[in-house]
């Protein structure tokens, strides 16, 4: 069943969209929905001229969205254009055609990391992912935060504060009980203003690069990166924002030899000190708060997914403890059996 924001797309819709994009003389030979996301609808569409494409259909027009989710389809097209121009060697889909309701892009080979058999060695692909993101981070924007009519500002501290404030407003609008009082969350960001102000270049950040958005192919038993997808949640700011999602429920800074970090350092230096760790904790805090706030907009509930709800709450509480120096480290949280976002 489609999620609350997903359109109920059928074969006829796909064929009509393909005809509008590529012409009636290039018919569809195969079309099938793709598993995965919960926001938009994605189909693989193979054309008679031999091209394999991906069709992404935007949210339903009457869907209730979180503040940062506005204009997501148009922003994915902007992300694809930006990466193609600024980091052409990074394997992201190439934009083929777009309308207000859908876009076509090239279909990338490979399998998402969660779909690989247990025991598959993903060390190389995680290093590749780190190196690819480091190249994306070389692209500079002209604002901090989210483009368009979404939270942004002229400085990174102000943008991050605005992003958090929008999320807190969404929690109120959706009647979500947060594990930490909003004023305490605001005070944490205020207390770290000077640290956030050390970021003086708005780098392009993917933000949503959990394992489900990393594609890989296997050669000689080794998985290697073949694609980074779903860039619609991108923003401009601290490159360390992208150190949160690639180790969802974990930490790429611990242990120090994490393959993502090794790959990143092949392209861009990172010296891990207390300031870097605190910035990553702030971005993990924002990510896990977002995952809590989006529960009702994804048709989820604490009663329906109690383990996921408790574990996200424990992660938020642990990060707040770290950032307010109430404890030294975040206690380990058992995330076995917790579905990915």
User: Is 337 part of a structural domain of the chain?
Assistant: no
Could you tell me if 240 and 280 are in contact, meaning their C-beta atoms sit under 8 angstroms apart? Answer: yes
Task: Give the range among 57-61, 94-98, 244-248, 300-304 with minimum mean pLDDT.
Answer: 57-61
> Which of 203, 247, 207 is closest to 231 using CA atoms?
207
> Which of 237, 228, 222 is closest to 123 using CA atoms?
222
Q: What pLDDT, on the 0 to 100 scale, is given for residue 62?
A: 81
Residue 177 Ramachandran class (φ > 0 left, ψ -120 to 50 alpha, else beta): beta
Q: Which residue has the higher pLDDT, 55 or 219?
A: 55
Q: What pLDDT, on the 0 to 100 scale, is given for residue 302?
A: 95
Q: What pLDDT, on the 0 to 100 scale, is given for residue 183?
A: 97
Beta strands (DSSP E) in the chain are 28-33, 41-47, 52-57, 95-98, 102-106, 111-112, 144-145, 152-153, 203-205, 214-219, 222-228, 235-237
Q: Is the peptide bond before 255 cis (omega within 30 degrees of 0)?
A: yes
Taking each helix axis from N to C terminus, what angle separates 182-191 and 306-323, rounded to the nearest 10 degrees?
Answer: 40
- Do 117 and 151 lie in a common domain? yes
> Where a domain ends, among 76, 106, 136?
106
- Do 163 and 101 lie in a common domain? no
- Do 16 and 80 lie in a common domain? yes
In whole angstroms, what separates CA 31 from the centre of its chain? 26
- Do 153 and 138 lie in a common domain? yes
User: Is 341 part of a structural domain of the chain?
Assistant: no
The overall average pLDDT reported for the chain is: 92
Where residue 145 sits, what CATH number does that domain have?
A: 3.90.1200.10
Q: What pLDDT, on the 0 to 100 scale, is given for residue 37?
A: 65
- Do 193 and 282 lie in a common domain? yes
291 has a pLDDT exceeding 70 = yes
Domain coverage including residue 16: 11-106
Task: Report CA dihedral (188, 191, 192, 195) to the nearest 10 degrees.
Answer: -170
User: Is 242 part of a structural domain of the chain?
Assistant: yes
User: Is 3 part of a structural domain of the chain?
Assistant: no
Number of domains within the chain: 2
pTM of the model: 0.92
Q: Which residue has the higher pLDDT, 292 or 38?
A: 292
- Do 100 and 117 lie in a common domain? no
Could you tell me if 234 and 204 are in contact, meaning their C-beta atoms sit under 8 angstroms apart? Answer: yes
Q: Which contiguous run of DSSP H or E holds residue 91?
A: none
Q: What pLDDT, on the 0 to 100 scale, is given for residue 334?
A: 40
**Order of strands, edge to edge, in the sheet holding 222-228?**
111-112, 214-219, 222-228
Task: Give the range among 51-65, 132-146, 286-300, 305-319 with minimum mean pLDDT.
Answer: 51-65
User: Is 59 part of a structural domain of the chain?
Assistant: yes
Contacts of 221 (CB under 8 A, 6+ apart): 121
3-state secondary structure of 2: coil
User: Is 298 part of a structural domain of the chain?
Assistant: yes
Q: What pLDDT, on the 0 to 100 scale, is given for residue 340?
A: 42
Which value, in Å, is the radius of gyration of the alpha carbons in the chain?
A: 20
28 has a pLDDT exceeding 60 = yes
Q: Which residue has the higher pLDDT, 324 or 326?
A: 324
Q: Which residue has the higher pLDDT, 35 or 49?
A: 49
- Do 68 and 199 lie in a common domain? no
Mean pLDDT, range 222-229, rounded to an integer: 93
- Do 116 and 76 lie in a common domain? no
Q: Would strands 102-106 and 235-237 be described as parallel, antiparallel, or unpaired?
A: unpaired
Q: Is the peptide bond before 139 cis (omega within 30 degrees of 0)?
A: no
Where residue 23 sits, what CATH number does that domain have?
A: 3.30.200.20
288 has a pLDDT exceeding 50 = yes
Q: Which contiguous run of DSSP H or E holds residue 308?
A: helix 306-323
Q: How many residues can be counted in the chain?
A: 341
84 has a pLDDT exceeding 50 = yes
92 has a pLDDT exceeding 50 = yes
- Do 31 and 73 lie in a common domain? yes
- Do 285 and 222 lie in a common domain? yes
Query: pLDDT grade, residue 225 (50/70/90)?
Result: very high
3-state secondary structure of 11: helix
User: Is 336 part of a structural domain of the chain?
Assistant: no
- Do 46 and 75 lie in a common domain? yes
- Do 198 and 94 lie in a common domain? no
- The three-state (H, E, C) secondary structure of 29-56, written as one string: EEEEECCCCCCCEEEEEEECCCCEEEEE
Q: What pLDDT, on the 0 to 100 scale, is given for residue 1?
A: 60
332 has a pLDDT exceeding 80 = no
User: Is 243 part of a structural domain of the chain?
Assistant: yes
pLDDT, one tens digit per residue, over 138-147 is 999 999 999 9
């Amino acid at each position: 069943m489609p999620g609350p924001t997903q359109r109920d797309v059928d074969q006829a819709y796909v064929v009509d969209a393909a005809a509008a994009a590529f012409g009636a003389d290039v018919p569809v030979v195969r079309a099938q929905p793709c598993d995965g996301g919960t926001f938009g609808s994605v189909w693989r569409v193979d054309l008679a001229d031999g091209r394999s494409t991906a069709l992404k259909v935007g949210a339903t027009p009457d869907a209730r969205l979180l503040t940062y989710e506005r204009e997501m389809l148009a922003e994915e097209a902007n992300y694809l254009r930006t990466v193609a121009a600024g980091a052409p060697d990074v394997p992201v889909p190439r934009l083929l055609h777009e309308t207000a309701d859908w876009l076509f892009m090239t279909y990338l080979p490979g399998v998402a990391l969660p779909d690989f058999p247990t025991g598959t060695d993903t060390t190389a692909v995680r290093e590749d992912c780190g190196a690819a993101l480091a190249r994306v981070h070389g692209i500079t924007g002209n604002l901090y935060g989210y483009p368009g009519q979404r939270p942004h500002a002229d400085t990174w501290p102000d943008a991050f504060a605005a992003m958090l404030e929008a999320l807190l407003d969404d929690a109120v609008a959706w009647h979500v009980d947060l594990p930490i009082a909003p004023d305490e969350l605001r005070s944490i960001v205020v207390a770290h203003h000077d640290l956030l102000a050390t970021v003086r270049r708005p780098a392009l950040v993917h933000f949503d690069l959990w394992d489900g958005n990393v594609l890989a192919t296997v050669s000689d038993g080794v998985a290697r990166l073949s694609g980074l997808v779903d860039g619609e949640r991108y923003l401009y700011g601290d490159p360390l924002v992208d150190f949160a999602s690639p180790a969802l429920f974990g930490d790429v800074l611990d242990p120090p030899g994490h393959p993502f970090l090794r790959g990143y350092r092949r392209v861009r230096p990172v010296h891990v000190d207390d300031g870097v760790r605190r910035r990553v904790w702030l971005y993990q805090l924002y990510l896990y708060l977002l995952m809590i706030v989006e529960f009702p907009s994804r048709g989820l509930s604490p009663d329906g997914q109690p383990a996921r709800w408790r574990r996200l709450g424990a992660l938020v509480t642990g990060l707040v403890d770290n950032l307010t120096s109430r404890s030294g480290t975040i206690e380990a949280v058992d995330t076995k059996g917790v579905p990915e976002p």
